Amino acid sequence: MVRVLVYLLVIAALAAGAVWLADRPGEVSILWQGYRIETSVAIAAIGVVVLAFLALVAWAIVRFVFGLPSAFGYASRARRRARGFEAISRGMVAIGAGDPVAAGRYAVDARKFVANEPLTLLLEAQSAQLSGDRGQAEAAFKAMLDKPETRVLGLRGLFVEARRRGDMAAARAFADDAVRRSPSLAWANDALLDFHTAAGDWQAARTAVERRAALRLADKGEAKRQRAVLLAAEALEAKDREPEKALAAALEAVKLAPGLTPAAALAGRMLSERGDIKKAARLLEAAWKQVSHPDIAGAYLDVRPGDSARDRLARAEMLTRLRPADPEGVLALAGAAIHAQDFARARAALKPLLAGGASVRACLLMAELEEAEHGATGRVREWLARATRAPRDAAWVADGLVSDKWLPISPISGRLDAFVWTVPPATLGSQGAHFDDDVLADLDDPSAPLLEGKAEVAEAVTVPAAAGLAPPPAPEPAKPEPKVEPRPEPVAAAAPPPAEPVVEIGPPATKPATPQAKPAPVVFPVAHAPDDPGPEQQAPGETKGRFRIFS
């Protein structure tokens, strides 16, 4: 709209000027080189306009003639640039498709036509990574350091290559340089945090966490949790050398994360050792409300050194009141009741757990209860046998590794705060994905460990021994044991004797050298456990099953 108005104003001005000249007639006389030219003012104005137009046309022709060489050169450069960018585009597509041959060919074309473009260096580096030429990839990343716009990208690529070949010193140097040049780089800050935690430098790791939080690379909740984990790690490391420092770090960790089990248990035990019983009890009760864990329960039961078994049982009852029907509280209560010789209380506490499917710890507690109350070897062996087939209890699990103690970082991937208290899955496989190619996703792969060497993922399942029980000795496979006749149980005169389950104890089933060399197992009859609601309860007349402890 504005352009139309300007155009109309110009036309109106020209028309007004023409009318003004027409209303004021006159003559113009020009005397030049003996020639005299006389004409009207209007014709003279028209002549001036025509001469100016001809001068402009002549100047344009001269410029065109003299600008032909540069125009041809510009057109050639434009065509080369277009072909170069087309090669870069197709090369990136080939890298995404995983075609190293096409990617290398397009990288050569891009180098030929647009060698000075930053994208050309990126295409060369990624095509070299895809084809496995690490030397060429590093050369391309080093070339990026000479350009300000690609310097940080080059540092990132060199960091990845150094970490891939196991040169952690060089990788850390590249990450440090990247942070100095661009403090807000997420990958560099994360890498420095991983390096500090892998080296056990908890103070530097806390500084890195605080920097990440200040730069908003991590939310406040995550940063707070990470600081608590690092403080707990520092406290566990210094508890024997510097107890005061360890206690201060543990208390600060509990303040940041009240449900952090290792920090709460350590702080409670250290406060108890110093005689601050009330503070320790309040701290452990607050932690128990957040998360139930056997370490917290154990620290709470032992909060006052020298207490009797009845006092410990009263504290276990307090835990069950804080978290009613919690399995960990029930197990703590049952264990304390057994030690206090309140066997009826222990059976009543364990009955709901047995009805829902007894875990390993519940079976071991039942074995301990049978031995403490009756000394019945058959029942003890029966519960120990059931413990070998019972569902697993919760443990510390991280990256496919089951650990009996908490660790601040995963030994597999080096992740901070990786361990979770949970029931291990039935099958533990490899955690994390591995990229077959080395496109940009390779630079962001968080599963690549920063720890030197290769960590082997091994799963170890440990069945804790019940307190006061010695595990049954393994029989010698070469010496068969004698067969013991069943010992009948006293029964009423009018009732027929019930069939009894037996516990078979013997060497593992192996192929004998000869058919006559097969040893005979030893059979012990045992009465069925009265507190066992499991599937072993069968109708009269059915064949009883057998528990194989060492099979």
Read off the pLDDT of residues 224-283 as tens digits, 9 standing for 90 and up: 999 999 999 999 999 999 999 999 999 999 999 988 999 999 999 999 999 999 999 999
For the beta sheet containing 420-422, the strands, ordered from the edge strand earlier in sequence to the opposite edge, are: 401-403, 395-398, 420-422
Residue 462, pLDDT above cutoff 70: no
- For residue 226, which phi and psi values (nearest 5 degrees)? -65, -40
24 band by pLDDT with thresholds 50, 70 and 90: confident
In angstroms, rounded to a whole number, what is the distance separating the alpha carbons of residues 130 and 99? 8
How far from the centroid of its chain's Cα atoms is residue 443's Cα?
16
pLDDT of residue 335: 94
pLDDT of residue 19: 80
428 band by pLDDT with thresholds 50, 70 and 90: low
| Residue scoring higher pLDDT (24 or 372) | 372
Helix, strand, coil percentages, rounded to 5, for the chain: 60, 5, 35
Q: Please tell me whether residue 31 adopts helix, strand or coil conformation.
A: strand
Give the residue ranges of DSSP H helices in 25-99. Answer: 41-97
Beta-carbon contacts of 352 under 8 Å, excluding residues fewer than 6 positions away, are 325, 330
Torsion of CA 209, 212, 214, 218, to 10 degrees: -100
pLDDT of residue 117: 86
In angstroms, rounded to a whole number, what is the distance separating the alpha carbons of residues 241 and 250? 14
In angstroms, rounded to a whole number, what is the distance separating the alpha carbons of residues 83 and 85? 6
Give the residue ranges of DSSP H helices in 114-166. Answer: 118-131, 134-144, 151-164
Q: What is the mean pLDDT of the chain?
A: 79
> What is the Cα Rg of the chain in Å?
43
How many C-alpha atoms does 506 have within 13 Å on its Cβ side? 21
Token pair for 155: 């540092």
H-run or E-run covering 7: helix 2-23
Q: Which long-range contacts (CB under 8 A, 24 or more apart) does 456-460 make?
A: 457/399, 457/400, 457/401, 457/412, 457/428, 457/430, 458/401, 459/400, 459/401, 459/402, 459/424, 459/428, 460/402
| Predicted TM-score (pTM) of this structure | 0.65
